[in-house]
Each structure stands twice: as C-alpha cells, then as structure tokens.
Chains A and B, each alone.
Chain A
C-alpha cells in the first residue's frame, strides 16, 4: 500500500515534570485506510513510548478514545485520517481536567451519570418467575436511541454550557436519565424529573445542538434535553393536581 507522511502535533503534559502542556511533533508514515488512532498507536509503539492515550476496542463502541483533532471532538478510532491534511493536531478533550497527555479526568461524569439514577426504578420488583415485561417494538423505539450512548464524552467537549459551567449535568447524563424515563418498564420518572428541575440540569441547556452534531452514535442528546424540559414541567404542573406517586 502506498505510504504517505503526515505531521502529528500532539499535546504533551506530564504533571511530574511539566508546569503546563506543550506541543510535540511526530512524522508518521500513514496508510490510506488508517484512522487517527492508528497514527497515535504508531507513535506510541515506534517513536515515543512515553505518549499516553486511552483506547481499546478500535471499533467505535467502547468509548475510550475521544480526543480533539484539529480542534474538534473526535472518536479517534472512527475518524479517518483521509479527512485531514498533512498536519494533524491532537489535543485532549476540551472541558475536562487533563491527567496526562491525551488522558482526561472522567470522575465528574461518573458522578453526574449516577445522579440521574440510570437504572429501572419500580415500586415492587418483578420476580423472575413472572417472566419478561411485554414491550412492543414501538415502545422500545421511545427510548432505544437514547440507550446508544457509549459515554465517549465528545458531547461534553462540544457543549458550550459545560465549558462555562463545569457542574452542568451535561448531554450524555441527561440523555441517559431520559432514556429510563421513556422506558415503559420504569416508574421512576417523577424522581428523575425532580432532579431535572434542579439547578444546573436541563434548563441550563442553551440548545446550541453541538452535542447532537458531534455524537458518533446518533444519540441526539439535544432532543433528550428538550423532551426532558417539557416532561419536567408537565410533571411539576401535574404534581399540583395528582398527588405524588398517584400514577
């Protein structure tokens, strides 16, 4: 296969040594079918063993390898190098604290995810002997799209609100909370809507739609945020009419 050279300008930062991030350039012979991740792995294996980045599945489903490529959030194992010119700049995902090189800290998201109670909430647990719930293909479609999130964090990097308010619950966590609200097996919408009415959640969204544009799995978190806004208001309004839990 024909070989071509590209220059990769990669952010390096080692808190053991560096006061602030710096740029390092690498010349990489690339293959026509390579993704951005292939070039980073080449650097790591052949040019500089000290470069740190996360990756695993290399098939766009584990969500590990999100980074900024030429300033835009990218799932690097899916992003073809043919999309870029001779100079490719790779930096850590925006809007996150950097641990090292291209590795960002995920703790904040893990807490946000848990805070939306992303699990089936029921008043009485169903016994195994009762078998599965019935759920029609149409009912499955209500939430299926929002269950496709791979937690790659591209949407947090793209979101202008997260940039200004790091505490904002953010697109993925809202989409996943909403996913359970839309699941016919779940009875926890009232609890989650209460969370969604709190500060720094769905109403903080400015509807820039950037999250949906960068999502590599077409989850459309912006739609989830908007639907959640409406549901949270309806739920709040009906709470004056129907006592809580009276569904």
Chain B
C-alpha cells in the first residue's frame, strides 16, 4: 500500500456551505495563527445553501423586537426549541446579517438605501432579509468569495470524508477520500466541525440537491454521538410536482394565494389552525392543510400525483420580476407555466431536517473536539418545526460560534498521535479499495436507494401512524443488510462517483434508520411530527428531545430535557 499522505491543521471543517464557511472565517478571525482546513465533497460554491431562496431572518425594523422573534420561533417549534438557544440566536441574528452585508451580500434595498425585509410564514412582522429570491445563492457566493482572502483557510475540494479519527476519547481529524485521485488521506486537526447539511435525499420527493445525504450526521453517529429529534422533518408546502424543485415561501410573503380545484383559498375558508395568518401560517400546518385538501378530493390530478395551485397572477409582472425572478424562471423551465399569467402547480415536498447531531449552544457534541453547525446539527433552535428564513441565519450564528469555540478548544489541546490518524486512513483506504475491486454482489445501488426513499415516504411522510412507521423501521434494517451485497461496477480510482454514491447510501441508511426509530417512539403529534393515531400534543409524556444512539444491534433511544424559560408551553394556534 502506498504511503498515506497526512496534513495538519488546527481546525478541520467538513462542509463548505453557509455554516462551514462562516465557521472557517470565524476561526481565522478568532486566532491570528490558526490554520483551518475546509474539506468539502464538492467545490464550496456547489453546496446546497445555494438553493435557498426566500431569505434570512433577523430583527431589523422599529416595529420588531428580539422578544417577538424569540416567541415566534418558540411557538413555531411547538415549544420544543431550547429557549436559551433561541434568545441567543435572535440577538446575534442582526449582527450576522450586517456582517454579511459588509462582506458584499447584495441584499435587496428600500428606496432610502436601507436593507429591505419581507413577510414570512409564522413571523409576526417583516423580518426576513432578502436578495430577490436567490438569497442562499448570494449568501453562499458572498461568503465563499470573502473566504478567499484568508490564506489560512486551506481548501480540500472534492474530498469525501469517510471517517472521523478518534483517539484517546477525542476527535483528532478526518480520513478523506480525494475523489480525483482515489487516495485516502489523513487530515489532522485538534478540533473538527461538521457542517455537511441535512439528508433530504433519503426521501423520494425533496427540494434537496443530490449532495444532501446526511454525511456529517452519520460520521458523528458512528462515533457514538447522539442524533437528536430526528423524527422532525419539514415538508415545504410548495414544491413543483415531479422534480420537487422549491418554490419559495416568499411567494406567499409577497401576497401569493393557495387555491384548491374549486378556486377556493382554503386557508381562509376552512379552519386549519392558521387563523388570520392564512398563507403565512407555519410550514407544518400549511403542508397538512394541502394534504387534507387533496385527500378531500379538492386537488388537481397530475402525472406526478395530486396538487393544488399557488396563484401569483394578481401580484403583477412588476412585483414578480423584481422580487421573485427565480420563481418565474423555475416555473417556466421546470413547471411549464408562467406565474405572471397562470397559477403554479405545487404540492408539499420534503425540505429540511429539524433534527441532527446533538450539540449544546456552542455547537459542541459529547465527543471532545467535535462540533457541528447548520442543518447537520441539532442545536435545538427549531424544535419540532422550523420557521422559514431562520435556517440561513442559524448557519451564520451557530457556524460562527462553533468556529470561535473550536479555536479556544484547540488551544488547550495537543496534536495527538499522528500514527493513529495514519492508521485510520490506511484502514479506510483498504476498505475503499476492496469495495472498488469487488464487482460482485447482487444488489443494485439505484434500486436500494429507490426502496429506501419509498419506505421513508410511506412511513415518515406528512402524516404518520404506528404500523407504517414500524414497517419502515423493518424495511430500513433489511436494506442495511442488503447494502452489504451491493454490486459496484466501477473499478477506477479516478473520480469514481459510483463509490461515492455507495458511501453516501451507507450514510443515508444510518440517518434514515435513526429517523424512523425516533419517529416510531414518539406517540404524540408535535410540530412536523403528525400522527393520525395520536393527533394531540402530549407535554406530560413527550416534552423532551429524542436522542438516538448508534448500536450494532440497532438504534438505542434516550431523552434530553427541553430548556424552557419565560415562554410557557400553551396550545399552538394562530
């Protein structure tokens, strides 16, 4: 076997999206000497942050307050968000968005040159900052381009992390596959920050890009770190049938209407719990409302399933072109309609995972030296349901905090034993080599992936019940076994995307199993976890965070208390 290449840094960040880049910048700013590795399986500007559309929330107007943003978030979370985390978040949010403005983000402006804000679901006033409807794209490119000025941020583009290096009870770096050469290298660091995003690709119909395969969650989980609140998965109300491409909530923030096949604005005419908020209710409630409309026969029939209408025609071309240009483009190119003249066909689509790697408010996990931020993490900002436009800000606030705290941790830690890192990388190299060379096995990768996504939708969709969740738990366990018999056809060392896809599917299976097991155990309905056989929230028995631990015999569950505060749980009605 050829010699394992090793690289040494102070901080190793896995992922180059909004949270990862923000963490990297915070780390080099917090220390005049810290060397930071940013390891991404793609080029950072391809990260899925790029697809976020509608905006980023932070108090900006005189009629707004931290109190209001805080309560909106707590209520949106169905009281499962940690209130200390939420208080910190709302206070830091404006600072982070201002910083991003200083770094060049082209926020849309009011006539007087101040930053414009728009309405968003579950938010009690206009506090969502935006750059037309390409907010994630602009934030990511502004951050990435700003990061290029720091020579101490060393990028490992198209490097896929296959394992955390753990020695003496602490994380010491990562083993990563250099996709271009096929070599596995040891990228050593005194602290590691996971910022790899969510795992939407475990579902068949999702807004998520192909890269959202839960890699960071699986890496931490396999090392004994709990995944928290995995049962809470967000369906975005408005995705294009077929592709699942996101049509932003900003369409409704700007005044768009949802209509059924009778032309009725059902969120106004029927009681779905959103009150006068109507189309600006929170995502969990609106997704349920759409499903109920379709089940009641008031949807439209289409080749990719039933759908309802998102009508923007009354907004006029000027507003649509000025504030929602991407929605118009996406509707035309992928939906076959021009929203200036016709309603857009939409249906709820898996969008976001509230759950993730269990962290404290610093982004620290229970494994010393390991941090997580962004969608990968569950810092418990979002509880059982995230409010739209809180997640981009979350990436900034908690990415920055994880970066700063990791630098402090690294200062008090030694380099560890390099030989251990080399050994782990060598073992990984051997494992991947035999996977590449085997070309045996009877299972097809795409088929296993298809069966996984199908069972996740049937068991853990918008509405759930015990029998279907239990069936999904069984099916995922069987798929994990079948995965050991997968047939890979590509033996090449160079840019072997089939090998990467197999590693991704391994990660997806772990994340999916923890999700299904967590969901099956929670016998109540809270936020996005909605059970037909337990339709009420049950604070008596379930006001806690679910922890899910890896175990060779199958996932093991635990509990963690919710940090309450001045906002006392009450019925969630708008």
Binding site for B on A (CB under 8 A): 1, 14-17, 33, 44-46, 48-50, 52-64, 78, 80, 99-101, 103, 106, 110, 113-114, 117-120, 125-126, 128, 131-137, 139-140, 143-144, 147-151, 176, 180, 183, 185-186
Contact = CB atoms under 8 A, between A and B. Distances in A.
Contact of B495 (A60, A103, A118, A183): A103
Interface in B99-136: 99, 101-104, 106-115, 134
Given A54-B42, A136-B109, A151-B45, 4 more contacts: A52-B497, A110-B157, A144-B106, A150-B137
Nearest to A103: B495
The list of the 7 closest CB pairs from A to B, nearest first, reads: A134-B113, A45-B446, A50-B490, A100-B495, A56-B209, A49-B489, A118-B145
B22 interface: no
A53 B496 CA distance: 10
Interface in B431-462: 445-446
Contact of A55 (B149, B210, B243): B210
B245 A185 contact: no
Contacts of B495: 52, 99-101, 103
A48 B336 CA distance: 31
A120 B104 contact: yes
A45 B453 CA distance: 15
Given A1-B303, A50-B490, A100-B492, A64 B42 contact: yes
Contact of A135 (B109, B145, B496, B498): B109
B101 A132 contact: yes
B242 interface: yes
A136 B111 contact: yes
Contacts of B228: none
Given A49-B488, A99-B494, A128-B98, A58 B43 contact: no
Contact of B489 (A33, A50, A110): A50
Contacts of A50: 489-490, 492, 498
A53 B141 CA distance: 23
Contact of B494 (A15, A143, A149): A15
Dominant secondary structure at the B interface: loop
Nearest to B143: A119
A33 B107 CA distance: 34
B488 to A, nearest CB: 7
A167 to B, nearest CB: 19
Contact of A52 (B211, B326, B496): B496
A186 B492 CA distance: 47
Contacts of B246: 59
Contacts of A48: 489
B137 A110 contact: no
Contact of A61 (B50, B145, B494, B497): B50
Given A58-B243, A60-B333, A185-B104, A99 B180 contact: yes
Contacts of B162: none
B134 A132 contact: no
A89 to B, nearest CB: 21
B468 interface: no
Nearest to B447: A45
Contacts of B475: none
Interface string B74-100: 000000000000000000000100110
Contacts of A106: 43, 157
A61 B104 contact: no
21 contacts: A16-B493, A44-B497, A49-B498, A52-B498, A53-B497, A54-B497, A58-B210, A61-B51, A61-B134, A61-B137, A62-B48, A63-B50, A64-B42, A128-B102, A132-B102, A135-B113, A136-B112, A151-B45, A180-B104, A185-B102, A186-B104
A119 B492 contact: no
Given A50-B498, A134-B114, A57 B50 contact: yes
B574 interface: no
Dominant secondary structure at the A interface: loop
A69 to B, nearest CB: 16
Contacts of B489: 48-50
Nearest to B103: A120
Given A45-B446, A50-B489, A50-B498, A132 B148 contact: no
B304 to A, nearest CB: 10
A189 to B, nearest CB: 14
Contacts of B330: 59-60
Contacts of A59: 51, 243, 245-246, 330, 334
A17 B42 CA distance: 25
Contact of B333 (A54, A55, A78, A176): A78
A132 B210 contact: no
B493 A46 contact: no
Contacts of A150: 45, 50, 137
Nearest to B105: A147
B494 A100 contact: yes
Contacts of B141: 147, 149
A46 B45 contact: no
Interface in B32-52: 42-43, 45-48, 50-51
B314 interface: no
Nearest to A122: B102
Contacts of A126: 102
B146 interface: yes
B464 interface: no
Contacts of A114: 148
A135 to B, nearest CB: 5
A133 B149 contact: no
A186 B498 CA distance: 44
Contacts of A45: 445-446
B42 to A, nearest CB: 7
B172 interface: no
B298 interface: no
A125 to B, nearest CB: 7
Contacts of A132: 98, 101-102, 107, 114-115
A56 B42 contact: yes
